[in-house]
Amino acid sequence: MLSGPPVTVSLSAEQWLERFLAGSSRQRRSLLSTSQPRPETLCPLIPDRLTLLDATGDDWAAGWMIQTLLTHGNEDQRLDFQTRHPEGWLAVTSAAGLSYAPLQEALADQRFEDADRITSSMLRQLAGTAAEERGYVYYSEVPAMSGSDLESLDRLWLVYSQGRFGFTVQARLLKGCQGRWEALWPKLGWKNGGVWTRYPGSFQWSLSAPEGHMPLINQLRGVRLMDALLSHPALQQRLAA
């Protein structure tokens, strides 16, 4: 009995979106690379689907849908989303009284260089007045940082990067390198051929950047700051979850 070529089933935008939301991270990425429908057909479906997702979690499907809506939606669709979510869709908290709206807006708009600068500023604020005045954080100031704020920063980067950027991503990659920092830098795209990547022009401010590429931590003063940050109990707890 002869067998013909496999039958390709054409999915409607609604069917594709349901399959996307039900899939694992790997399955979702496969769908994005092989069978994504025209974004304009997805935009009208996105607001209702967002109401079904947990805004207190870190499911990157929501971030991808929001970025699709803001990039490809019409003016009315974008305005309606921004009116519904003036502080951003993801519900984040701050024990330090910080507003995460500017960071969430930059990430949703895929302005990753701006988002990285905002993140650096927020880390200085979490470290205290002395860090803000000097313009950078000492590693010794990290343990006292609010765990809920570091968790919020991590969640925001995860949700708006298809799970590819964030502190816990960097910590996971470091663990995969058996804690060897020199093996981590090339993986992050921060070092190439023994030479540090030049900031900001040589960094990749897009979703196509290497996994863990953002947010950036200045390594010119050594690894102690990043080691303290990735070792913070709040981030280690998220990594173990």
The average pLDDT across 66-90 equals 97
The confidence band for 1, taking pLDDT boundaries of 50, 70 and 90, is very low
Average predicted confidence (pLDDT) for the chain: 94
- Of 158-162, 221-225, 227-231, the one with minimum mean pLDDT is 221-225
Can you give the pTM of this predicted structure?
Answer: 0.94
Residue 7 has pLDDT above 50, yes or no: no
DSSP calls for the chain: ----PPPPPPPPHHHHHHHHHHS-HHHHHHHHHH-PPPHHHHGGGHHHHHTTS-TTS--HHHHHHHHHHHHHS-HHHHHHHHHH-TT-SS----TT----HHHHHHHHTT-HHHHHHHHHHHHHHHH-HHHHHHTS--GGGSTTS-HHHHHHHHHHHHHTTTT--SHHHHHHHHHHTTT-HHHHHHHHTSEETTEEPPTTTTS--STTSPTT--S----TT-SHHHHHHHT-HHHHHHHH-
- Which among 171, 166, 145 is positioned nearest to 227, based on CA atoms? 171
Domains of the chain, start order: 13-84 (no CATH), 101-240 (1.10.10.1770)
Here the tokens at position 75 are: 């003016």
The average pLDDT across 116-136 equals 96
Give the chain's radius of gyration (CA, Å): 20
Residue 2 has pLDDT above 90, yes or no: no
The confidence band for 5, taking pLDDT boundaries of 50, 70 and 90, is very low
Here the tokens at position 202 are: 């040589």
pLDDT confidence of residue 14 = 96
The average pLDDT across 78-104 equals 97
Rounded CA gap, 104 and 76, in Å?
Answer: 20
| Stronger pLDDT, 99 or 11, i.e. the higher one | 99
pLDDT, one tens digit per residue, over 192-208 is 999 999 999 999 999 99
* Residue whose structure tokens are 């951003």: 88
pLDDT confidence of residue 3 = 46
pLDDT confidence of residue 35 = 87
pLDDT confidence of residue 10 = 79
Cβ pair 171, 235 in contact under 8 A: yes
The average pLDDT across 163-191 equals 97
Burial of 126 (0-12, 13-18, 19+ CB in 10 A): buried
Here the tokens at position 191 are: 């070092």
Percent over 70 (pLDDT), the chain: 95
The average pLDDT across 89-110 equals 98
Bridge partners for 103 per DSSP: none
The confidence band for 219, taking pLDDT boundaries of 50, 70 and 90, is low
